[in-house]
């Protein structure tokens, strides 16, 4: 059993300064003079207290590609980034399309204990888009899967997509779609536009994403089901989501930190670290995404943490794999592009990176809870003034494919608590728990 913890003078949600008392994995008092015997006392002056962050889009690569990431290394990276729960994508080897595989991932996450790992099940067998997976068996397994995705591949067949949307209604699940028209993006390497033309790289048109977003919103409306759209990247997709919500369709959407910060101009370096799916778009798209996050059209921010072995990135652009690391840098990027610019508050960050993703993932009984007495002590303390320079070699992930090497970010998580147990401590706080 962990020692009681008293967190003094924390700025709850960046607003009210208060003291949190944690005992036996629960917040037992807020702004109280209670001091349990033997408690660890933390002076949190200047720190922002948030509910533990919840990532709805993480690739942990285990089983199958442990050379790129493992559940242990990915969990450690998540804890350092302030996350207390992550949803692990199904594109492993073997694919997480059976109860046995998702239970293996869930059990390994529980064994490691740094974050709660919630497996996402595949929509189709082997991610091949031909036959529905054992969604019911996964939903009723000990992993309690509620989200299903073929992420990395679009559920392209509208009949299969419709059947999946109908099936998940039985257990209040959701289909999580990687929106990409496969025919329109065959051989595509980056965003289709002036830069791709100049560089001679095959273009990836915005309509390839937007057409699938529109189709799936209409399918969700038709069957009365729930669809979540991953990593929106275009201004057109934002408008479709806004339209769908105005129509009352049960659709949610996410943006990634990299699509909120970077543009297709980065491809001019031909550095594969900037090669990602969907591709980095224009500044106009970035601005539209930021505005949609600020006004609530986009529900959450998710990392799409995609670790790769060095040989999959240390090569020419065309041969490189898509994807980049995100768990340890997400919070700093969100502060940089949203909080420090005045586009969002820390309370908005709590909604975007904890409360809403927990609700969408159906884990809001344990995560994304208020910082209030009687609630689970899943807490992230952020130092918004702890500027740091990203060094790939210092990251906890087994992979090194971050595009942010050498970039200074304004803040970071300094303490992460999972049910009252420290899973990450900045060195300045390690002595208090010794």
**Numbered residues of the known binding site for Zn(2+):** 57, 59, 151, 178, 231, 304
CA of 140: how far to CAs of 75, 131, 166, 167, 363, in Å? Answer: 24, 19, 17, 13, 15
- List the structure tokens of 231: 């990593």
Residue set of the binding site: 57, 59-61, 91, 151, 178, 231, 277, 304, 308, 322-323
Burial of 33 (0-12, 13-18, 19+ CB in 10 A): exposed
Please name which of 77, 83, 3, 1 lies closest in space to residue 42, comparing C-alpha atoms.
3
Residue set of the binding site for substrate: 59-61, 91, 277, 308, 322-323
Task: Tell me the sheet residues that pair with 7.
Answer: 20, 42
Q: What is the DSSP letter of 93?
A: S
Q: Is the dihedral of CA 349, 350, 351, 352 positive or negative?
A: positive
- List the structure tokens of 176: 């999580």
Which run of H or E residues covers position 347? helix 346-350
Spatial distance between the Cα atoms of 393 and 125, rounded to a whole number of angstroms: 37
Placement of tokens 């820390």 in the chain: 346
255 with 301: CB under 8 angstroms?
yes
Catalytic residue among 97, 181, 299, 304, which?
304
CA of 83: how far to CAs of 14, 55, 272, 284, 326, in Å? Answer: 18, 7, 27, 30, 12
Placement of tokens 């003078």 in the chain: 9
Q: What is the DSSP letter of 171?
A: G
28 with 373: CB under 8 angstroms?
yes
Spatial distance between the Cα atoms of 347 and 339, rounded to a whole number of angstroms: 10
Spatial distance between the Cα atoms of 195 and 208, rounded to a whole number of angstroms: 18
Please name which of 304, 296, 423 lies closest in space to residue 5, comparing C-alpha atoms.
423
**Would you call 304 a catalytic residue per the annotation?**
yes
Spatial distance between the Cα atoms of 234 and 238, rounded to a whole number of angstroms: 7
Spatial distance between the Cα atoms of 46 and 434, rounded to a whole number of angstroms: 23
Residues acting as catalytic residues: 304
């Amino acid at each position: 059993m962990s020692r009681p913890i008293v967190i003094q003078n924390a700025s709850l949600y960046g607003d009210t300064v208060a003291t949190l008392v944690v005992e036996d994995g629960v917040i037992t008092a807020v702004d109280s003079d209670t001091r349990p015997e033997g408690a660890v006392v933390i002076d949190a002056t200047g720190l922002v207290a948030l509910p533990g962050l919840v990532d709805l889009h993480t690739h942990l690569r285990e089983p199958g590609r442990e050379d790129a990431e493992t559940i242990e290394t990915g969990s450690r990276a998540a804890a350092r980034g302030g996350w207390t729960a992550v949803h692990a994508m199904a594109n492993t080897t073997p694919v997480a399309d059976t109860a046995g595989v998702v239970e293996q991932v869930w059990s390994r996450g529980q064994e490691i204990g740094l974050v709660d790992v919630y497996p996402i099940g595949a929509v189709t067998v082997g991610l091949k888009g031909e036959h529905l997976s054992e969604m019911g068996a996964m939903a009723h397994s000990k992993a309690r899967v509620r989200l299903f995705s073929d992420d990395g591949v679009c559920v392209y067949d509208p009949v299969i997509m419709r059947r999946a949307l109908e099936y998940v209604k039985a257990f209040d699940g959701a289909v999580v779609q990687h929106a990409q028209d496969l025919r329109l993006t065959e051989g595509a390497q980056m965003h289709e536009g002036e830069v791709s033309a100049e560089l001679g790289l095959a273009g990836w048109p915005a309509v390839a994403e937007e057409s699938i977003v529109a189709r799936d919103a209409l399918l969700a409306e038709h069957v009365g089901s729930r669809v979540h759209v991953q990593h929106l990247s275009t201004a057109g997709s934002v408008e479709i989501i806004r339209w769908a919500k105005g129509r009352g369709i049960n659709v949610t959407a996410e943006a990634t930190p990299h699509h909120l910060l970077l543009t297709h101009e980065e491809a001019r370096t031909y550095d594969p670290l900037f090669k990602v799916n969907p591709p980095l778009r224009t500044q106009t798209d970035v601005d539209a995404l930021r505005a949609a996050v600020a006004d609530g059209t986009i529900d959450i921010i998710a990392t799409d943490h995609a670790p790769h072995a060095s040989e999959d990135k240390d090569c020419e652009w065309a041969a490189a794999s898509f994807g980049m690391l995100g768990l340890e840098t997400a919070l700093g990027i969100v502060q940089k592009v949203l909080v420090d610019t005045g586009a969002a508050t820390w309370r908005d960050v709590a909604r975007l990176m904890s409360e809403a993703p927990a609700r969408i993932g159906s884990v809001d009984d344990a995560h994304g809870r208020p910082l209030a007495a009687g609630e689970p002590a899943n807490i992230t303390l952020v130092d918004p003034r702890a500027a740091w320079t990203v060094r790939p070699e210092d990251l906890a992930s087994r992979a090194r494919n971050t595009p942010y090497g050498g970039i200074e970010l304004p803040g970071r998580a300094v303490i992460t608590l999972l049910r009252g147990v420290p899973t990450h401590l900045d060195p300045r706080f390690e002595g208090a728990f010794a």
